Amino acid sequence: MRSPYFRWFAAMGACVLAAASGVAQADYPERPIRLIVTFVPGGGADLLARYLGQALTAEMKQTVVVENRPGAGGMIGVETGRNAPADGYTLTLISSSYTVNPSLYRMSFDPVADITPIVQVSRGPLLVVASPGFAPNTVPELIDYAKKHPGAINYASSGQGSVIHLANEMFNRKAGVEMTHIPYKGGGNAQNDLMAGQVQLYFAATASALPHVASGKMKALAVTTATRIAALPNVPTIAESGLPGYDATLWYGLIGPKNLPAPIVEKLNAAVNRALLTPEAREKLLADGAEPAGGTSAEFTTTIRNEISQWGKVVQDLGIKPE
């Protein structure tokens, strides 16, 4: 039988460990933070991650190091971040494509319960862009061309089952046209081939496409949300271009490993929300065709859960299978 002294020392040890953990969380962060991006350099996620890293570095008074871990529809990066210690020093930037993956892949974990949603960072449209030499200049012209040349249009995506892929397939279904899907390992590669004329169409992350539209290396046909954007006020929506009701949004958000301590979640959430409230952040995001999101961890959790259900229905309706 264990003595009362043993039980006393065990209890005291537990209290000391709990106190030490509390102090560590109160002092967080004490060293650089790793921010994993689930896509290749040069795309919209990468550009946002680098801006977010700078903003968090200023807010948290610790360096935030961006690390690209692309592949498998973003799941390689997610797995890397999910399996890291739950201490707040490894975070992952995900896109809305994360909520598509459960409908396409056999997940090794619960996409809601086995992560810690921290905060939604931004949301905005995709930008429908075409190579400069492609004949159509408007959505009606694109639909007309596609109907006259079934399967002849090669459209790029940042990966099989990505929101970019599904947004184009939703367009095809609504317009009653057939195009050929060319999946890439990230948006940067897709955009390079679009500008080179290897593919004709791409539903791009707006931030990464805008500089190329401005330089004339690609042309903008429409945005995918229900309203136009300030960065391109003369570019119409798909809905007003002949496909009423069409609406697809791309968002980005920050997650951590499962069981990330609440004080750390609150600290990170508050830091991102403060950064998003600055005029500089709003101006930056609006210039990139997006808008600040923000909100609570609970609200972001609800968004993830709801969109897993919504995109699951879209995947089923379209009959899309992983390649």
**Could you give the CA distance from residue 6 to residue 4 in angstroms, rounded to a whole number?**
5
Domain ranges of the chain: 30-123+250-318, 125-241
The per-residue pLDDT string of the chain (323 residues; one tens digit each, 9 = 90 and over) reads 555 555 555 555 555 444 444 545 678 999 999 999 998 888 788 889 999 999 999 999 999 999 999 888 788 999 999 999 999 999 999 999 999 999 988 889 999 999 999 999 999 999 999 999 999 999 999 999 999 999 999 999 988 888 999 999 999 999 999 999 999 987 888 999 999 999 999 999 898 899 999 999 999 999 999 999 999 999 999 999 999 999 999 999 999 999 999 999 999 999 999 999 999 998 989 888 899 999 999 999 999 999 999 899 989 988 887 65
Element (H, E) at 96: none
Q: Alpha-carbon distance 38 to 73, whole Å?
A: 8
Report the C-alpha gap between 159 and 132 in whole angstroms: 23
Q: Return the CATH number of 30-123+250-318, one of 3.40.190.150, 3.10.180.10, 3.10.450.50, 3.30.70.20.
A: 3.40.190.150
Which stretches of the chain are DSSP H helices?
A: 4-27, 44-60, 75-82, 101-104, 139-148, 163-175, 187-195, 206-215, 262-277, 279-287, 297-318
| 25 secondary structure, DSSP code | H
Q: Are 48 and 121 in contact (CB under 8 A)?
A: yes
DSSP for residue 236? P
- 216 sits in the region (left: phi over 0; alpha: psi -120 to 50; else beta) called left
CA distance 220 to 235: 7
> Residue 22: what pLDDT?
53
Residue 19: the pLDDT is: 46
Domains 30-123+250-318 and 125-241 share a fold: yes
Residue closest to 257 by CA, chosen among 56, 47, 116:
116
Among 154, 283, 287, 288, CA closest to 208? 288
Bond prior to 29 in cis (omega within 30° of 0): yes
Looking at residue 242, what is its pLDDT? Answer: 95
Instruction: Kindly state which CATH superfamily the domain 125-241 is placed in.
Output: Periplasmic binding protein-like II (3.40.190.10)
CA angle (71 as vertex; 65, 73 as ends), nearest 5: 110
Residue 219 confidence (pLDDT): 98
Measure the CA–CA gap between 256 and 267, rounded to whole angstroms: 13
